[in-house]
Amino acid sequence: MPKTLRSILGVRTSRSSLSANLTVRNYFQFQSMNILSHFKKKDIFSDVEKHRIVNAIQQAEKETSGQIRVFVERHCRFVDPLDRAAEVFHVLKMQDTSKRNGVLIYVAMKDRQLALFGDQGIHEKVGDTFWNEKVKIMLSHFARQNYADGLVHMIGEIGEALKSHFPYDGNNDRNELPDDIVFGR
């Protein structure tokens, strides 16, 4: 396992006085990969790739009460992408899901950083090993510059875990969060 791959389990509280949030965050700084040297937001993914990613989210969420979001930006505003993922998670109000089963896939393309941020409900079910394995899989796609494929694959695998632990209940479940890709600066 690369030395830069870390799993951190910690208790976080936000400034907006939300209750303590037990989360697991995983990230890897993909320093050795040949990432695009410059791009505009529209250049990150083609329209077809964007559609595939959003469709993967929608398909995964059809079978679970869990929620998946993808956040992509050029640069990570923080030194540690885990901190940025935590901030984005709260800004997107992902902690407000009824079963605390939201998962954020965070990618900072130019800084070559990614993080998986799972809320308390899903982390208690899958644990650190799950997140570490998913990071490795996503990195294998990213190493081949298959960014959209990596995200689609990861969304599918996270969706399967969510489905296993939080199956869809047609009487009570609803889509609590938008399924679109969120692009930062």
- In terms of residue numbers, what domain contains 114? 6-29+43-183
| Residue 138, domain member (yes or no) | yes
Q: Per the structure, how many domains does the chain have?
A: 1
User: Residue 80 domain-assigned?
Assistant: yes
At 38-88, the pLDDT tens digits run: 344 557 899 999 999 999 999 999 999 999 999 999 999 888 888 999 999
Is residue 37 domain-resident? no
Q: What is the pLDDT of residues 84-102, one digit of tens each?
A: 999 999 999 999 999 999 9
Residue 38 lies in a domain: no
In the predicted structure, residue 113 carries a pLDDT above the cut 60: yes
Residue with tokens 């791009």: 39
- Lowest mean pLDDT of 84-88, 95-99, 136-140, 156-160, name the range: 136-140
Q: Is the pTM of this model over 0.85?
A: no
Query: Distances from the Cα of 148 to the Cαs of 38, 111, 175, in angstroms?
Result: 17, 17, 23
- Which CATH number do you get for residue 56? 3.10.310.50
The answer to the question of residue 64 being in a domain is yes
* Beta carbons within 8 Å of 176's beta carbon, 6+ residues apart: 67, 96, 97, 98
Does the residue 1 lie in any domain? no
For residue 141, the cross-strand partners are none
Residue 108 lies in a domain: yes
Establish if 35 belongs to a structural domain.
Answer: no
The pLDDT score that the predictor gives to residue 102 is 97
How many other CB atoms sit within 10 Å of the CB of residue 10?
Answer: 12
- Quick one: pLDDT at residue 132? 84
Q: Give the mean pLDDT of 126-141.
A: 89
